[in-house]
Amino acid sequence: MARIELDLAHAYRANPQQDSDYALLPLKMAFEDGGAYALLGPSGCGKTTLLNIMSGLVTPSQGGVRFDGKDVTRFTPQQRNIAQVFQFPVIYDTMTVAENLAFPLRNRKMPAAQIKQRVGAIAEMLEMSGQLNQRASNLAADAKQKISLGRGLVRPDVSAVLFDEPLTVIDPHLKWQLRRKLKQIHHELKLTLIYVTHDQVEALTFADQVVVMTRGRAVQVGSAADLFERPSHTFVGHFIGSPGMNFLPGTMTSAGFHTVGATVAAPAGRSLRDGEFKLGVRPEYVSIAAAHAEGALPMAVSQVQDVGTHVIVSATREGHTLKARLSANTTDLRVGDSVWFKVMGEHTCFYQNEEIVQ
Ligand SMILES: Nc1ncnc2c1ncn2[C@@H]1O[C@H](COP(=O)(O)OP(=O)(O)OP(=O)(O)O)[C@@H](O)[C@H]1O
């Protein structure tokens, strides 16, 4: 296994001139040995490009890649000793499940007894022990993808295992099980795992550290709690959470934060210089307050959405909507009601140029 360091940028086109010419804007980051990481972001943000640069399928147009301090930028995936699992199964239909799992080990000339033991262990982790002697061609699509996952995980000596949306073909129920399984396998095998997905639930359940990407930029690397509590960029606030963070543009003065035609006092101990900011508050941290309560804004309820255990109450003021996630039994608000939403508190964040300042 290896610590992977990246200091690079990548454009698929020659002579890139502007940011939009780059699939990856200049970035510098490290993946620690034995960590479980996810690369998370919407379609086209550069996740696969980053993964393929780590595996050696793509050579970055600027900068390079280091494994344990060694420059591997020009190395092939084989020379880097990387295992990669793709969206669709890559297996040999004519072989049995056991032969498929053993293949990467045979290639590396592992002794037969060790191969048997390792294949047995991986099959057990993936709950495929009963299918070891079945021919792969007879299996359903998700069983085939499980073999692909197993082939990625079977070698104990890889620098890292890279997964590119590996659960796309898996049915939703099994998907949930496999996500948990992969996390467990990570704890047992202590491999460096890097997992590409556009699904936040998948990223947050699998990874200890999530790299959030948008338009060729890695905007934040953090744990699920970091991304939830202190999104360092407004994109992370929007993208993580359901619904995402609320934002209100406004001006900080000595009187407080002036937004949507009202002024709310900043909580004691919070000092921001005067200027224009975006206030960010998660729906989970918006609460109903008494009229004129400190830190609260008067608003008009525009939507009440029952989501089972909670209700999402949307309220509007001067064309801006805030969402609050409230316990179903604590509110009987209806559309058109007046409500005071408390937006200022210890979980409130402030942004300038989309980056967090406090
Ligand atoms: N081989 C290629 N040649 C030219 N442009 C490419 C190539 N591969 C990707 N791109 C472009 O680079 C950008 C990043 O693509 P990439 O596939 O890395 O994103 P992604 O986040 O993995 O998206 P998806 O989830 O849709 O796969 C996109 O604008 C894409 O069109």
Task: Please give the distance, rounded to the nearest whole angstrom, from the Cα atom of residue 236 to the centre of ligand 1.
Answer: 20
Choosing from 10, 13, 24, 45 the residue with most ligand 1 atoms within 8 A of its CB, the one to mutate for a pocket test is 45
Whether the predicted model's global pTM rises above the 0.90 cut: yes
Pocket test for ligand 1, best of 8, 12, 57, 163 (most atoms within 8 A of CB): 12
Among 25, 27, 47, say which to mutate for ligand 1: greatest number of ligand atoms within 8 Å of CB.
47
Rounded Cα distance, 207 and 204, in Å? 6
Cα 42 to ligand 1 centroid, rounded to whole Å:
11
Is the pLDDT at 358 greater than 80? The verdict is no
Q: How many Å separate Cα 300 from the centre of its chain?
A: 34
Q: Give me the residue spans of the domains in the chain.
A: 4-238, 244-356
Residue with the nearest Cα to atom 5 of ligand 1?
12
- The residue whose CA is least distant from atom 25 of ligand 1 is 43
Whether residue 271 has pLDDT greater than 80:
no
CATH number of 4-238: 3.40.50.300
7 bridge partner residues: 28, 64
ipTM comes to 0.97
Q: What is the DSSP string of 329-343?
A: GG----TT-EEEEE-
Residue 333 and residue 286: Cα distance in Å, rounded?
A: 15
Instruction: Indicate the CATH number for domain 244-356.
Output: 2.40.50.140
Distance 23 CA to ligand 1 centre (A): 7
Interval 32-36 mean pLDDT = 95
Whole-angstrom distance, CA of residue 127 vs CA of residue 340: 52
| pLDDT value of position 185 | 87
Helix axes 112-125, 172-189, angle to 10 degrees: 130
For the stretch 81-96, what's the b/e string if a residue is b when 16 or more beta carbons lie within 10 angstroms of its beta carbon?
bbbbbbbebebeeebb
Q: Which atom of ligand 1 is nearest to the CA of 48?
A: 22
| Amino acid at the residue 115 | I
More confident residue, 91 or 177: 91
Summarize pLDDT for 99-112 with one digit per residue, the tens: 999 999 999 899 99
Q: How far is the CA of 210 from the centre of ligand 1 (A)?
A: 19
Quick one: pLDDT at residue 151? 95
| Closest ligand 1 atom to 46 CA | 18
232, 355 Cβ separation under 8 angstroms: yes
pLDDT digits (tens, 9 = 90+) for 46-90: 999 999 999 999 999 999 999 999 999 999 998 999 999 999 988
Q: Calculate how far, in angstroms, residue 27's C-alpha sits from the geometric centre of ligand 1.
A: 17
Question: 243 with 283: CB under 8 angstroms?
Answer: yes
Within 6 Å (CB) of ligand 1, which residues are found? 12, 23, 41, 43-49, 198
Q: Ligand 1, residue 198: give the atom nearest the CA.
A: 25
How far is CA 6 from each of CA 23, 34, 220, rounded to the nearest angstrom?
15, 16, 15
Q: Whose CA is nearest to atom 16 of ligand 1?
A: 46
Q: Residue 309: is its pLDDT beyond 90?
A: no
pLDDT at 174: 84
Q: Atom of ligand 1 at shortest distance to CA of 216? A: 14
Span 285-305, average pLDDT:
96
